[in-house]
A and B are shown apart, each in its own frame.
Chain A
C-alpha cells in the first residue's frame, strides 16, 4: 500500500529502523536514512557493511526482518510493483542475457515496463548513444566488463526512473571504464535521484552531493560531502618544528588543555586533533614561543573523505 505522500513530495528513500538478519548475523541494525529527491547520494561502507543488503531490500529482492523501507512514498514490502515501476536498478555484477544485442536488451527492458513501442525505440537510441554503444551490433556475451556496466546503467534508465539505484557500479572497472560510468552518473544530476553504493571514496567525492557511511549494518555518518569533510578538516592541525625534540616539548606543554582531543608526535612533526579550533589557534603560537622552538610549518589539515571514513569506520572496527 502506498502512503498518501507517494509521489513528487515524498523522500526518494526513507528507511526507519530497517533491520535484516541472516540467521545469527545482523546485516542491518535499525538503519534510519532519508534521501531527498534530486541528489546524487553516496552510500559508503566497507565490503560486508550491509550496502548490498539495503539495495536488495529497496528493490524488492529481499524482505526486511524489521522496520520499514519506503521508496518515493511506496512501502517496498506492500507495493513492490509500484516501487519497481519508478526505479532503475543496477546490481554490482549486472548479468545480462548474453545472447541478446544491446538494442534487444533495452527493448526488452522497456517493454517490461509496459512502455509504448515508439517511446522504447526513442529511448533506446538515446541511451545507446549515452552508453557509447550505438554502433555495437555484437551480442552482449562478447562485451567487455565496462560495456556491460554501461549497458547495465542504460537499461536502468529506460523507464526514465525517479530513483536510480546503483550497487558498486565502478568496483571492477579499469580507470577508463570507471571514468565513463562516473560521467554517466554525474550527467544525471538534477534529472533523477541517484543512490549509489560504493567503497571507493574517490568516486563519492567526485560525483556525490551527500553521503551516508554504513558500518556493520549501522549508519555512522549522514551529511553533505562538503559538510562532512570540512567538519573533520577543521579539527585537525599539523605542526612542524626545526628541532628534533621540539615537537615533544610542545606536546608536553599542550597536553591537558581542554580543547585538545589527541596529540601524536613523530620527530619534528606534531599532529593534533582538537575540539575547539579557535582556542587552538590562539594558544599554540604562545606555546611555541614559550618553548623557544623555531617553527617550520603550522597548518590546518585539508581532510579528504578518506580521512573521515577511516576515522569513523576505522574507529568502529577497533
Chain B
C-alpha cells in the first residue's frame, strides 16, 4: 500500500481546491438549513394559493419537526443521490481521460491503492457533509419548531448513508468500467432509477440493500421496520466489499 496516505491526502486536497467542495457539501448544508424552513412555510403558502381560488378550501395540519426531517430525508433521496451519481462518474474516468492517472500510476502506487484511496476520500467527504447537513437540519428545526426529532433523524440518515456509500462504490465501478464520464453517469442514473423502482418490491426490500430506502422512512417515523434490517444491511456491506474488489480487479487489467 505504498503511497496510500499520500494519495488519499491528494484526494482530500483536490476536494478542497476544486468544485467538489461546493457540490455535495454545499447541497447538504443548503438542504439542512432550508428543509425545516420550507416545512414551516409550506402550509401557509398552500393556504395563500388556495385563498386566491374562490371556493377552494384546503385544510392542512400544522407543520411539525417531523415534517422538517421528512423534507430533509426526501431531499437526500432525490437530489443528493443524483449528485453522487454525477460527481462519481468522473472519479476514475476523469483521471484516465485527462492523463493525470498516468503520472501517478507510473510510480509505485498500485492500481488497487489508487482506487481504494479514491473510495475512502469520497466516503469521508460524504460522511462529513452528511453530518454537517444533519446538524444544520436539527439546529434550524430546533429554532423554527422549538422541537427536535434528534435520534430518529440520525438513525434514518445513518441508514441512508449506508445506501449512499454503496452508490459511491457502484459509481466508482462504473467510472472504471466506462472510459467516458457520460457513459458512467448514464449507467449510474439507470442504477439509481431501477433501485427506486424495485425498492417497493417486497422480495427486493426484504433481501437486498434496497430495503434501506424504506427503512429510513420507518426509522424517522419511529416505527419498527416492517422487515428485519439484517438482510438489507448485510447485503449492502457485501455489495460494497464486492464492488470495491471488482473495481480494483478491472482497473488492474486495463491498459492506460
Chain A 85-125 against B: per-residue CB contact (8 Å), 1 yes, 0 no?
10101010111110110001000110111100000000000
CB distance from A116 to the nearest CB of B (A): 12
Q: Which residues of B contact A (CB under 8 A)?
A: 2-3, 5-7, 10, 13-14, 17-18, 98-100, 102-110, 255-256
- Pick the residue among A59, A62, A81, A112 that contacts B7 (CB under 8 A): A112
Q: Indicate if the CB atoms of B256 and A62 lie closer than 8 Å.
A: yes
Query: A92's closest neighbor in chain B, by CB?
Result: B99
- Tell me if A46 counts as interface (CB < 8 A to partner B): no
CB distance from B242 to the nearest CB of A (A): 25
Residues on A with beta carbons closer than 8 Å to the beta carbon of B102: 61, 91, 95
Q: How far is the CA of A7 from the CA of B103 in the complex (A)?
A: 24
Q: How far is the CA of A159 from the CA of B103 in the complex (A)?
A: 13
Q: Indicate if the CB atoms of A63 and B10 lie closer than 8 Å.
A: no
Q: Which residues of A contact B (CB under 8 A)?
A: 56, 59-63, 81, 84-85, 87, 89, 91, 93-97, 99-100, 104, 108-109, 111-114, 152, 155, 159
Residues on A with beta carbons closer than 8 Å to the beta carbon of B106: 59-61, 84, 87, 89
CB distance from A55 to the nearest CB of B (A): 10
Q: Indicate if the CB atoms of A109 and B107 lie closer than 8 Å.
A: yes
Q: Indicate if the CB atoms of A112 and B108 lie closer than 8 Å.
A: yes
Residues on A with beta carbons closer than 8 Å to the beta carbon of B105: 60-61
- When A95-B98, A95-B103, A97-B10 are in contact, do A112 and B255 touch as well, CB less than 8 Å? no
Given contacts A56-B256, A63-B255, A81-B2, 19 further A-B contacts (CB under 8 A): A59-B106, A61-B255, A61-B256, A84-B106, A84-B108, A89-B106, A93-B99, A95-B99, A96-B103, A97-B100, A99-B14, A104-B13, A108-B6, A112-B2, A112-B6, A112-B7, A113-B107, A113-B108, A155-B103
CB distance from B4 to the nearest CB of A (A): 10
Residues on B with beta carbons closer than 8 Å to the beta carbon of A152: 103
Q: How far is the CA of A96 from the CA of B109 in the complex (A)?
A: 16
Greatest chain B CB density within 10 A among A61, A81, A112 is at: A112
Q: Indicate if the CB atoms of B14 and A97 lie closer than 8 Å.
A: yes
Residues on B with beta carbons closer than 8 Å to the beta carbon of A108: 6-7, 10, 104
Q: How far is the CA of A209 from the CA of B9 in the complex (A)?
A: 41
- Secondary structure at chain A's binding surface: helix, strand, loop or mixed? loop
CB distance from A53 to the nearest CB of B (A): 10
Q: How far is the CA of A153 from the CA of B2 in the complex (A)?
A: 22
Q: How far is the CA of A104 from the CA of B10 in the complex (A)?
A: 9
Q: Indicate if the CB atoms of B255 and A56 lie closer than 8 Å.
A: yes
Q: Indicate if the CB atoms of A94 and B103 lie closer than 8 Å.
A: yes
Residues on B with beta carbons closer than 8 Å to the beta carbon of A87: 106
Residues on B with beta carbons closer than 8 Å to the beta carbon of A95: 98-100, 102-103
Q: Indicate if the CB atoms of A112 and B109 lie closer than 8 Å.
A: yes
Q: Indicate if the CB atoms of A112 and B256 lie closer than 8 Å.
A: no
Q: How far is the CA of A91 from the CA of B100 in the complex (A)?
A: 10
Query: A95's closest neighbor in chain B, by CB?
Result: B99
CB distance from B92 to the nearest CB of A (A): 14
Q: Indicate if the CB atoms of A91 and B103 lie closer than 8 Å.
A: yes
Q: Indicate if the CB atoms of B6 and A81 lie closer than 8 Å.
A: no
CB distance from A113 to the nearest CB of B (A): 6
Residues on B with beta carbons closer than 8 Å to the beta carbon of A109: 103, 107
Query: B17's closest neighbor in chain A, by CB?
Result: A99
Query: A107's closest neighbor in chain B, by CB?
Result: B6
Residues on A with beta carbons closer than 8 Å to the beta carbon of B14: 97, 99
Residues on B with beta carbons closer than 8 Å to the beta carbon of A91: 99, 102-103
CB distance from A99 to the nearest CB of B (A): 4
Q: How far is the CA of A110 from the CA of B71 in the complex (A)?
A: 47
Q: How far is the CA of A84 from the CA of B3 in the complex (A)?
A: 13
Q: Indicate if the CB atoms of B256 and A111 lie closer than 8 Å.
A: no
Greatest chain B CB density within 10 A among A97, A113, A152 is at: A97
CB distance from A312 to the nearest CB of B (A): 30
Residues on B with beta carbons closer than 8 Å to the beta carbon of A89: 103, 106
CB distance from A199 to the nearest CB of B (A): 20
Q: Indicate if the CB atoms of A85 and B108 lie closer than 8 Å.
A: yes
Q: Indicate if the CB atoms of A114 and B2 lie closer than 8 Å.
A: yes
